[in-house]
A and B are shown apart, each in its own frame.
Chain A
Amino acid sequence: MPIYASQQEGRLRPAPESFLSDALIADVSHHGIDEGRRNLLRGAFTAALAGASGLALADDPNIVEVPEWSRSLGKAVATNPYGQPSPFEANTIRRQSPGLTQTDQASVAFTPLQNLFGTITPSGLHFERHHQGWVDIDPRRHRLMINGLVKEPLVFTVEDLLRMPSVSRMHFLECGANTALEWGNSAVPTVQYTHGMLSGSEWTGVPLSLLLERAGYNRQAQFLLAEGADGSGMTRTINLTEALDDAIVAYGQNGEMLRPEQGYPLRLVVPGVQGVSWVKWLRRLEVGDKPYATKDETSHYVDLMPNGQLRQYTAIQEAKSVITAPSAGQKLLSRGYYCITGLAWSGRGSVRKVEVSVDGGRNWREGRLEGQRSSKMLTRFNFDWVWQGETALLQSRVHADTGYIQPQRAALVAERGTRSIYHNNAIQTWRVSSTGEVDNVQVG
């Protein structure tokens, strides 16, 4: 019988933090954990354990009885030549938002941010956004053409690109329409659907600048048209002056070749810029002196302002953060310590700090940033919290290295209204009820 089906919620015995005094819990909740409070916590745990030793604890059958995996021969190497996650992690998959689109080919499957750790998105969980379906391209028949304002139009095979000097860089990829459903009201039940058009990966490929040098591009050119080989022939105008700094013609993602859903065998990587410009199945780059006003720069991916004007070429992803756990749709099982965790990122550089509020933005404390703070890459933050059963409003707020601070939703809406679809980087609120259930709400 599968264990996940029979497992009961809750714990056999109270967790150690349940032995803490109310005063100490309140103190830690308000001020966080420092060395002094850490010692108080240790003391409380030791006392609790000493007190508990007199009780007759039930023996754990998972210890005193040998489990089946410890008394049988395991599976052979290469049973799964391409490894798979544990079957017990089957809940961690990409999902569509029902009713969002009427065809599955021009649609979205969202990344399950609520179940992920760190800053690297497993390639198989990277969100999908296609405009006319995804395709399996034979890399031996795929070509990259560079034309337009160049000395000599060129054609590269994938083999050609694999021979050239490569770079590997960590960058986030966020769809310009991430969180689009939340402009008007709380619309979807979990962080997978509110923020799941977001990923972090290590991308490997040839610097765009090197390829354009090879073609002898005109130094006065300011724009680049990137075009895909899929049915939609996806096209986007790239700000060439800036793309020369850090754009990559990528074939690698997290150590392997790109996944087909991510543009195998070639995609453009434009760090800090919205995902639609990271053209997948890249077949052509045209150097030009004017922007191209493609379908996804006129009919879609234009941000409608209250005065009726459409903001065109809204490329950069402004700094944003979100708490991924505890988050909407989850349930806090018992009172006590929780590590509030989330992601922060900036399309203009790196993250300076992240603050967390548990009272809807009235008071803020700084979270811990884990690992390196790479430019235009996700940063993981953690924040210590002891929940005492009160109703709480959880928020996170990023400060970018440019000095920019993530705004509350009300401020963003006051300027842009609720109909601009794209570039919603507002502070997200999760409400924790007194029963521990977490849901998606908006305040103010």
Chain B
Amino acid sequence: MFRWARLWVICLAYLATHSLANEYPQAFNGIGRAATAAELRAWDIDVRPDFLGLPSGSGSVEQGETLWLDLCASCHGDFGDSNEVFSPIVLGNITEADIQTGHVAALTDPAVVRTTFMKVATLSTVWDYINRAMPWNAPKSLTADEVYALVAYLLNLAYIVDEDFVLSSENIEDVQTLMPNRNGMTENHGLWSVDGLPDVVGSSCSVDCEVDTTITSFLPDYAMNAHGNLKDQMRDYGPLPGMQTAPQSSLVRPPQSDSSKMIPAELLALSGCTGCHQANKALIGPGFSAIRARYAGKDAAGYLTQKIKQGGQGVWGSVPMPAMEQLDDKVVEVLAVWLASGQ
């Protein structure tokens, strides 16, 4: 019955969307055009688990280490084990037995932090993602050989290959057979298809049901204000006002429309600065307080305006700051003055 109903819906949907195409087969031919070979090469960059789409090339663990320290270590740590900015990529939780079985045993241990290499079953995923999305502040800037080298370095950190290994399009399928969690994925569940079977279904009991209503968890008092004063987060009139979870209202509302009047915190976030910089500590770039300390009393607003607009490298380390060309001149000025003077 259900199947028939679904078929009927599909028929209706088909008629609704396809009748024009059927009546006038040429109707949409003038809309859209053929993609050129160069366009396909430029955009069709995905690499599948069977390595369809993988460009040829190679890179060594050693080359990867050099690139890693320059481009990746500031977020991920020298050994891919940092938890400062992103989840760790490797932490030494993979064993020889895991590589034999293709199941990472530590995944069953709640005390073990899950790393990328404990989870990922397919090496293609690592290659594809670094190629399309890394480095964090300059995606799609790596050559194919550089991606091979970085993947080789990570494989070495995960104890999958030796330190003299060279990863290439020729041997990548062999390395796939060593991926520690290659057998760790399952599609045996009900959530891939709309017709799939749910694993847990609730009770239909509605009167005097046998349920345990013991409170097993609640937020302790000290955690109630961890998200700010809840009073400021509910509509502040009507029958259900917010609970006062802080002594003072934290409600401060500067006008939103004029960027020159915005408080720096909002402007910094809106301009993309906070993706790499934090207030008081180094993240990918230096902290704002460190910049201010260095240029205090030096009338540096003009200099900092240029640095923001043109980017740079070497002043604070090897990680380059991209040129923020997209920012409005007035916004850059406000940021530079604030950075230099705190005003």
Contacts and interface: CB of A to CB of B under 8 A. Distances in A.
Interface of A: 4, 7, 9, 87-92, 95, 97-99, 102-106, 112, 114-115, 131-133, 136, 145, 147, 152-156, 160, 163-165, 167, 185-190, 192-193, 207, 209-210, 213-215, 225, 227, 231-233, 235, 239, 242, 245-246, 272, 283-284, 286, 288, 290-295, 297-299, 302-316, 318, 325-326, 329-333, 338, 347-348, 355, 359-365, 393, 397, 399, 404-408, 410-412, 414-416, 419, 423, 427, 431, 437-444
8 contacts: A88-B237, A164-B31, A293-B125, A310-B185, A333-B239, A333-B241, A364-B205, A416-B199
A74 B306 CA distance: 45
A345 B194 CA distance: 14
B191 A318 contact: yes
Given A115-B234, A393-B213, A318 B17 contact: no
Given A295-B133, A330-B242, A348 B194 contact: yes
Given A4-B236, A189-B245, A311-B186, A97 B227 contact: yes
A246 B44 CA distance: 25
Given A189-B224, A294-B125, A329 B35 contact: no
B223 interface: yes
B1 interface: no
Interface of B: 9-10, 13-14, 17-18, 20-21, 28, 31-35, 39-40, 43-46, 48-50, 84-86, 103-105, 107-108, 110, 114, 116, 119-122, 124-125, 128-129, 132-133, 136, 139-140, 181, 184-196, 198-209, 211-219, 223-224, 226-228, 230, 232-237, 239-243, 245, 251, 253, 269, 272, 274-275, 283, 326
Nearest to B272: A133
Given A89-B235, A114-B233, A444 B13 contact: no
A245 B235 contact: no
Contacts of A438: 243
A110 to B, nearest CB: 10
Nearest to B135: A231
Given A318-B191, A407-B201, A439 B219 contact: yes
A103 B275 contact: yes
Contacts of A412: 200
A135 to B, nearest CB: 9
A186 B217 CA distance: 6
9 tightest A-B CB contacts, nearest first? A360-B213, A233-B132, A405-B202, A407-B202, A329-B230, A444-B212, A364-B206, A314-B191, A153-B35
A193 B104 CA distance: 32
Contacts of A423: 191
Contacts of B14: 209
Contacts of B192: 239, 313-316
A40 B188 CA distance: 56
A75 to B, nearest CB: 15
Interface of B: prevailing SS:
loop
B35 A91 contact: no
A214 B18 contact: no
A214 B32 contact: yes
B191 A132 contact: no
Given A214-B32, A245-B13, A333-B241, A408 B211 contact: yes
B128 A294 contact: yes
A286 B44 contact: yes
Given A97-B227, A290-B50, A242 B215 contact: no
A308 B93 CA distance: 14
B233 A406 contact: no
Contacts of A105: 272, 274-275
B200 A330 contact: no
Given A114-B234, A299-B120, A443-B213, 18 more contacts: A91-B236, A102-B283, A115-B234, A115-B235, A132-B133, A147-B35, A160-B32, A164-B28, A165-B17, A189-B230, A235-B128, A286-B46, A310-B119, A311-B187, A312-B121, A313-B192, A316-B192, A405-B203
B270 to A, nearest CB: 10
B48 A293 contact: yes
Contact of A233 (B9, B40, B139, B216): B139
B200 A133 contact: no
Nearest to A187: B219
B194 A213 contact: no
A294 to B, nearest CB: 7
Contacts of B212: 410, 443-444
B133 A431 contact: no
B199 A209 contact: no
Given A189-B223, A441-B215, A299 B125 contact: yes
Nearest to B85: A102
A330 B241 contact: yes
Contacts of B209: 361-364
A211 to B, nearest CB: 8
A304 B217 CA distance: 22
A284 B43 contact: yes
B200 A416 contact: yes
Most buried by B among A89, A112, A145, A290: A145
B33 A154 contact: yes
A190 B108 contact: no
Contact of B218 (A210, A225, A314, A440): A440
Contacts of A291: 49
B253 to A, nearest CB: 5
Given A245-B9, A286-B44, A185 B184 contact: no
A314 B28 contact: no
B13 A246 contact: yes
Nearest to A398: B202
A404 B140 contact: no
A359 B39 contact: no
Nearest to B216: A442
A189 B218 CA distance: 9
A307 B108 contact: yes
A407 B205 CA distance: 12
Contacts of B211: 360-362, 408, 443-444
Contacts of B228: 95, 98
A395 B25 CA distance: 53
Contacts of B129: 294-295, 299
A293 B122 contact: yes
A261 to B, nearest CB: 12
A304 B114 contact: yes
B119 A299 contact: yes
A132 B191 CA distance: 26
A193 B243 contact: no
Contacts of B208: 362-363
Given A192-B233, A314-B189, A298 B121 contact: yes
A383 to B, nearest CB: 14
Contact of B214 (A215, A405, A439, A444): A444
A442 B215 contact: yes
